[in-house]
Copies of this chain bind each other. A is one copy, B any other.
Amino acid sequence: MSDIDSIVATAEASRERYLEEFLAFLRIPSISTLSEHRGDVAECAEWVATQMKNAGMKRVEIMPTGGHPLVYGECLEAAGKPTVLIYGHYDVQPADPLDEWDSAPFEPSIKGDDIVARGASDMKGQVFAILKAVEALSQAGPLPINIKFFIEGEEEVGSPNLKPFMMAHTDLLACDFALNCDTGIESPTQPSLTVTLRGLAYYDLIIRGPKKDLHSGMYGGAVHNPAQVLCELIAGMHDAEGRVTLPGFYDSVRDLTPEERAEIAAYPQDEQEWMQQAGVSKTWGENGYSILERIGARPTLEVNGLVGGFTGEGSKTVLPAKAMAKISTRLVPDQKSDEVTKQLEAYLNAHCPDTCSWELVQHAGAPFGLNTRDSAPMRAAIAALRAVYNAEPVYKRMGGTVPVVAYCKEILGVDTVMMGFALPDDGIHGPNEKQHLPNTWKGIETYIRFLAGL
């Protein structure tokens, strides 16, 4: 038995104690969005800090932010070894609607192989697994890698203080790569790793016409209606093939190689199941690409919101002075948000009629994320999953954006390994949220093998 196998065996033998501790973690109602739970959130931070000490961290600090505290822990005694920055969050969503829970959300219960509780899968299960993995490693001897934990308490309220915190603590958080545990896995038997994330560029597009709202009877037909103009501009942004028409939009998009397309095609994703999750009876999108390609590898332009004029019940005959759309684009390698901004501006200059004016306000976005599969951390992650699951991992192209991954790249200059153990059907944010306990146990083993393999 190798050193690692014996550490894994010790961890397996400790599951009874682990379970008790996991239950204790789940019993703390650390709901970040409800001010009456402020004390519980603070108690949960203390719990995490204690666990970090138990896991061998030499320095542990509960660090204040503008909102809920962040728990930092480090052990930097593995000379010559890389430093990993481990991200997670200890806060949870509110539990309502309470009457849809079969058991109390903060009185965790075991049902078959599942542990049911608010936060079980999002993401106390993963925070717990990585803490136990580090604990198991530290109990067996000096840690094989330098570790920095940063576990925040505000993820479920949109992490309003995370980016400022990271910008203010670049030295503290300096690392070689990051591990983000706030993610999932394809199935209990099929390991997966996220290899790409789409970036985001987000805008308000405001079209202005007359100085103030007009009576549509008195002026309609002779004053250009900004809501109509907005619709026409938006309509012009896609062609009949579902492609974005902004000139140059696809210029810097990296084409998929035949190998990549084959890999995506082989991804274990059932189209019917996907449509059911989406709540649609038909898919849509850019001609010539599959669903997974459209979401994972192709850029998009979405209308996230529309507002203008009268929107209440009944009728009001207003010709609105302005109308606004929230528009965002999802960026893929090698698109840059600045390019899209320029393309949108050029499109508006070319197409907005001179009867109206336009304004484009850009909100915070994020660059795309791209993990090369042959970095040392990714190779270690792949090897760990392979060893634990006895199966080849599949590689997931996520359509969304994970802000903290973008911050790690942008502020700390590092790539992130995204490896977690939530299942698609864990019901996160909903009633009867659960974690599949075999995933918790495999998660601990995977994290042990990953950290030891670097």
- Grouping DSSP codes into helix (H, G, I), strand (E, B) and loop, the A interface class, with mixed when no group exceeds half, is mixed
- For A355-370 the 0/1 string (1 means CB < 8 A from B) is 1000000011000000
In the complex, what distance in Å separates the CA atom of A202 from the CA atom of B316? 9
Contact A304 B310 (CB under 8 A): yes
Contact B305 A309 (CB under 8 A): yes
- A315-B326, A363-B315 known; A300+B228 contact, CB < 8 A: no
- A238-B228, A283-B222 known; A304+B295 contact, CB < 8 A: no
What is the count of identical protomers in the complex?
Answer: 2
A307 at the A/B interface (Cβ < 8 Å)? yes
Contact B330 A305 (CB under 8 A): no
In the complex, what distance in Å separates the CA atom of A321 from the CA atom of B279? 9
Contact A315 B364 (CB under 8 A): yes
- A309-B306, A320-B305 known; A230+B231 contact, CB < 8 A: yes
Contact B323 A306 (CB under 8 A): yes
CB-CB < 8 A to A307: which residues of B? 306-308, 311
Distance from A336 Cβ to chain B, minimum over Cβ atoms (Å)? 18
Residue of B nearest to A199 (CB): B217
CB-CB < 8 A to A303: which residues of B? 225, 227-228, 231, 308-309, 320, 323
A19 at the A/B interface (Cβ < 8 Å)? no
Residues of chain A from 319 to 357 with CB closer than 8 A to chain B in the complex: 319-321, 323-326, 328, 330, 353-355
Contact B284 A330 (CB under 8 A): no
CB-CB < 8 A to A214: which residues of B? 278-279
A389 at the A/B interface (Cβ < 8 Å)? no
CB-CB < 8 A to A321: which residues of B? 279
In the complex, what distance in Å separates the CA atom of A324 from the CA atom of B320? 15
CB-CB < 8 A to A310: which residues of B? 304-305, 326
- For A274-293 the 0/1 string (1 means CB < 8 A from B) is 00001110111110000100
Contact A278 B221 (CB under 8 A): no
Given contacts A221-B294, A227-B304, A305-B318, 17 further A-B contacts (CB under 8 A): A200-B217, A202-B317, A211-B279, A212-B279, A216-B330, A217-B400, A218-B400, A220-B330, A220-B399, A221-B285, A222-B284, A230-B306, A302-B319, A305-B320, A306-B311, A315-B326, A317-B328
